[in-house]
Amino acid sequence: MQLVGVVILAVLAAAEDQEMDEVIQLEAGGKPYTFTSENYPFQPPDNFNQNWHFSTSPGSTIRVTCSDFRLVQKSETECTEETVTFTDGVKSEEVCGTRYGYTVLSSNNQMSVMFKTGMYGRGSFKCVAQGRQMDRYGEVTTTPLPNFREIPSQEIDSSEYGGPPGHKSTSCNCGWANKGQGRIVNGVETMVNEFPFMAALLDGYSRYQFCGGSILTEYHVLTAAHCTIKHYTYGKPITVAIGEHNLYYPHETNATAYHNVAVILVHPMYDARIFKNDISILVLETPISFSRLVGPVCLSPSRQPDISRSYVTAMGWGNLYYRGPSPAVLQKVHVRVVDMVSCNRVFRMVDHVSPTQICTYASNKATCQGDSGGPVVWLDPEINRYVQVGLVSFGTICADANPTVHTDVRAHYNWVQHVVTGYTPRETCSKVN
C-alpha cells in the first residue's frame, strides 16, 4: 500500500484563519511520513491552522515522533494561542513548549494532529508518523532483531570503576569515574559526580535542561547538532552545567559550576532529515576547573577495536520512561552495541558500509527524551578508563523493540580535533599506543 495524501486548502476571508487539511493513509509497519509546520524551520503564517488526519489498517496503531518541537509556552502548565493537539478520538493531548524526541501513540488506527499558530504566527516543528503493526507482544517490526530483543540487564562489578589505569596510558588524565565498592543493577541513579565528564545543557534564559553533553577540554563541550541548531540559527544563549547531579538541588556537591557558551559550532554536513553528522561543539566563555569530580572524557582516533555486542553506558537526565517524568538526578543505563547491518534493516538511512553512527539495544532499556547529546561510553580495558564512542542522537520510542542510534564520535575525531585546535586551542585526551 502506498502513502496517499490529499491536501485541501481553504482560504477564508482575510479576517479569518487560513486552514489546511491533509489526509494520509499509512501502511502498518511501512514507510514513515514526515510532516512539518508551514515554512519550517522558520515561523509559520499567523492565524493559520494545519491539520493532518492519519489512518492505518484496523488492529494497528499510529506513532508520531517529533524530533524538533518548539512552540511558545506561557508557563510550565499553560500554553499560548500556539498549540499542537494530538487526538485519536478517544484521548486528546494539547502540547506546547520545547521538546526533543517527543512521541505520541494512538490507542486505535486513527490520529489527527492539529496545529494552530494564533495571531502572532509563532512556533515550528518536524514530526514523523508511522503505522504500527501490533501483535500480543507489542509492535511488530518488519525487520526484527531476534538476537537483541531478549538482552537482559547487565550486572556490573563496579569495583573496577575509578580504579588504577590499565597497562596502556592516555595522553592526559581522562575518563575516570568516582565510585566505591558495590554493584550496579538495572542502571538507575548514578552516584554523585560518578562521571566527571558529564555536562548538562541549559537554556540560557529559563535554565531548563534540554540536552546532555560531555567535557572534552577546559573550554570545549561535545553534544548533538540537533540540540544546538536552533540556538545556533537564532542566536539563543546556552549555559553548560558541569559537576551536576541533582538539577533541582545544586548543593549536594560543591563541584557544580555554570559556564556560558561563547561559540556554537555545528558540523557543516549535518543533515537534520536523517540525523547525519549529528554532532556539535560548544566553546565556553570561561575555562572549567578540573578536579577529581570534574574532568574530560577520553576520545579514540580510530573505530577499532570493533565493539559490536559489547556493553556501553549511556547517561542523562532524560525521561525515565516514554512520556514519563524527567528525573532530578543523573541516570545511567547499560546497553549493548548492535551490529550495523542489523541496525540498517530497521533504520534504512543508517549507513552500514561506511558508518558514522552506532546503534545500541537492551530489553526495556534505552535513552529517552532529554538524553540527546549525552555521552555513550565504553570502558576500554587497555586503559581502564571511559572512552566516548557515541553521543545520543535518535530512536523511535523509549525502550521499544528497535535500537537507539547514536553519532559515532570516533568517526568524527578529525572534525573534533579541527574545532578544538581552532577555537580557544586545547588538546583532547586519548589512548597512547
Whether 278 is catalytic:
yes
Residue type, 76: E
pTM (whole model) above 0.75: no
In whole angstroms, what is the distance from residue 180 CA to residue 298 CA? 21
Q: What is the mean pLDDT of residues 223-244?
A: 93
Residue 318 has what pLDDT?
65
Let me know if domain 4-140 sits in CATH 2.60.120.290.
yes
Reported as a pLDDT band with limits 50, 70 and 90, residue 10 is: very low
Over the stretch 59-98, which tens digit does the pLDDT of each residue have? 889 989 887 788 887 776 788 888 899 999 988 888 888 7
Q: What is the DSSP letter of 16?
A: S
Residue 188 has what pLDDT?
55
How many degrees, rounded to 5, is the angle at CA 287 between CA 281 and CA 288?
85
Q: In terms of Cα–Cα distance, which of 98, 100, 89, 26 is closest to 63? A: 26
202/361: higher pLDDT: 202
- With a cut of 50, say whether residue 371 has pLDDT above it: yes
In the chain the first and final C-alpha atoms are separated, in Å, by 54
Q: What is the mean pLDDT of residues 356-384?
A: 77
Task: Please report, for the chain, the start and end positions of each structural domain, with discontinuous segments joined by +.
Answer: 4-140
- With a cut of 90, say whether residue 409 has pLDDT above it: yes
Whether 46 is catalytic:
no
Whether 159 is catalytic:
no
Residue 6 has what pLDDT?
44
- The beta strands (E) that lie in 234-330 are given as 238-242, 257-266, 280-284, 298-299, 311-316
Q: Are 224 and 230 within 8 A, CB to CB?
A: no
Residue 148 has what pLDDT?
47
Question: Which position among 278, 371, 400, 408 bears the catalytic label?
Answer: 278
| % of the chain with per-residue pLDDT over 70 | 79
Q: Evaluate the CA torsion angle 35, 319, 396, 351 in order and state its sign.
A: positive
Question: Which position among 106, 124, 300, 372 bears the catalytic label?
Answer: 372
In whole angstroms, what is the distance from residue 347 CA to residue 142 CA? 11
Q: What is the mean pLDDT of residues 367-380?
A: 78
Over the stretch 131-169, which tens digit does the pLDDT of each residue have? 987 654 444 544 444 444 444 444 343 333 455 677 889
Residue 163 has what pLDDT?
59
- With a cut of 90, say whether residue 23 has pLDDT above it: yes
Question: Which position among 60, 68, 214, 226 bears the catalytic label?
Answer: 226
Cell of 349: 538511512
| Buried b or exposed e, range 237-251, using 16+ CB within 10 angstroms | ebbbbbbbbbbeeee
